[in-house]
Structure 1
Amino acid sequence: MSDQSSQQSGTRAWEQVLAHLEQMLLSGEVRPGQRLPGERVLAADLGVGRSSVREALRVMEALGLLRAQTGSGPNAGAMIVARPTGGISMLMRMQVAAQGFPVSDVVQARLVLESEVVRTLASRRPAQDIAAEAVELLDSMDDEALSPAEFLILDAQFHVTLADAAGNQVVAAMMAGLRESIESYVVERIDPVTWPKVSARLREEHRGVVAAISVGDPNTAVCRIVDHIRGYYEGSGR
């Protein structure tokens, strides 16, 4: 199908290329770590211009599904990678910035996802092992010399670490995206005067969540994570 016939059918040429690449992934023709056929080959196979192929590849790169290496040689070309948080985070950041996703809706989504995460972790045995990596992050967050931005980076890693431990990659990617989508808004509202007190409260709440997970108490873990998230955003003025 040529670029012109694609336009006549209502499908833009780069979308046709994207659909073809998706089918290649679904069929197993290409897998993570493998390189895609060159632009010239794809353009000839699909009957589209190379500019349409490049546009489709840029979309995949933005989605975190592809890494492009310019030049020539064995390392040149586009390689399929698996980095799901990249595209999700970008989408959510842009939607929040454009007021497509209200911050309140993002917070509610976090409540739903993280409640399920801590419930899952607290229901497992032995729960103590699951929380070990999270405790290491909390120990790092005890450093009073951390700036608010540095503290919040560790804070985000703590929450995503719990999601990773729960074992659902989709939930972990969504949580990372949700957190990143509104983090800049929270940072902007930090009051340097009250921050030491706020950060101390956050550290205490984190350890309370981990404690409930470690003793295998799902109900308490859920209550504590809900209170923690709500208090976090209400305290930031959102």
Structure 2
Amino acid sequence: MSEFTAARAHDAVLRHVEESLRSGALKLGDRLPGERALAEQFAISRASVRNAIRALEVMGVVRSATGSGPNSGTIVVSNPSSALGGALRMHVASHQLPLKDIVEARTMTETWALEHAATAPWTPEQIDDARRLLEAMDDDGLPSQIFTLLDAQFHVALSALAGNVVVSTMMESMREAIRDYISDAAVRQGAWEEVVHVLRAHHHGIFDAVEARDGVLAARLVREHIEWFYGKAI
């Protein structure tokens, strides 16, 4: 089979899965047929099927597991932020996507989200997710690496209050794309105790503004917070 033909065989499986998802023939939690069945269905090699499955895994569309239990096989999932975050991280590492541009995009996205969260119909239970992360970050014994992980989750949790799943996915993706740079920057800080004190104060101010549904203040505070940290650390 030529390289071109193999690529077309690979695409046939991807198109089939896309069309099946769009039509509802495939839903979250469903299993794809096995390699042999797909190879016979499309008259292609099992190697081409495996390539298609790997591509779907990278996209966050399926999860594959060996064995014979209830979680075995190739199962349809939905994990777009992981897939987008991984792709962005690779392009940041290759210097094709400047870190500065990712930070600017994150600032635009998060300020929009917090401003719109002011009028979104979120519940007390939803904001409690961010509150728990805020309280966890107040622990003075947290290593910087753990703090930055909680920090990322905190920002994503607040942005999710806007109720826009695409914006939430983009936020998670951008945080994933620059997570190593943030962790490294935190480690490099010679006076981390002073930095983390400022970050905690920023977080509490941002949270209070969101909880009070003051979107203008929340957006301004998160912009100042992001610019302060990256100006100091990157």
Question: TM-score, normalization: structure 2?
Answer: 0.91
| CA displacement at 1:69 relative to structure 2 | 2.0
Equivalents in 1 of 2:65, 2:124: separation in Å? 43
Question: Superposed, which structure 2 residues align to 1:9-24 within 5 Å?
Answer: 11-24=7-20
Question: Superposed, which structure 2 residues align to 1:41-60 within 5 Å?
Answer: 41-60=37-56
2:145 aligned with 1:149: yes
AA paired with 2:210? I
Give the fraction of aligned pairs with identical amino acids, expressed as a percent. Answer: 37
Q: Which deviations, in whole Å up to 9, do the C-alpha atoms of 1:185-211 show, x marking residues without a partner?
A: 122233353111111111111111112
| CA displacement at 1:215 relative to structure 2 | 2.1
Runs (4+) of structure 1 exceeding 6 A deviation are 125-129
Equivalents in 1 of 2:94, 2:206: separation in Å? 33
| CA displacement at 1:126 relative to structure 2 | 7.5
CA contact (8 A) 1:128 1:214 kept: no
| CA displacement at 1:127 relative to structure 2 | 7.9
Counterpart among 195, 201, 204 of residue 204 in structure 1: 201
| CA displacement at 1:164 relative to structure 2 | 2.2
Aligned to 1:29: 25
Equivalents in 2 of 1:171, 1:215: separation in Å? 21
Counterpart among 157, 160, 164 of residue 168 in structure 1: 164
2:230 aligned with 1:233: yes
AA paired with 1:7? F
Equivalents in 1 of 2:29, 2:160: separation in Å? 22
The secondary structure found in structure 1 opposite 2:208 is helix
* Contiguous gaps of at least 5 residues in structure 1: none
Closer, same or farther: CA 125–19 of 1 in aligned 2, 3 Å:
closer
* Contiguous gaps of at least 5 residues in structure 2: none
Q: How many residues matched?
A: 233
Closer, same or farther: CA 127–19 of 1 in aligned 2, 3 Å:
closer
The secondary structure found in structure 1 opposite 2:60 is coil
Question: Superposed, which structure 2 residues align to 1:5-154 within 5 Å?
Answer: 7=4, 11-72=7-68, 75-124=71-120, 131-154=127-150
The secondary structure found in structure 1 opposite 2:74 is strand
The secondary structure found in structure 2 opposite 1:142 is coil
CA RMSD of aligned residues (A): 2.1
2:221 aligned with 1:224: yes
| CA displacement at 1:45 relative to structure 2 | 1.6
Question: TM-score, normalization: structure 1?
Answer: 0.89
Q: Which deviations, in whole Å up to 9, do the C-alpha atoms of 1:7-38 show, x marking residues without a partner?
A: 26x95321222122111111111111010111
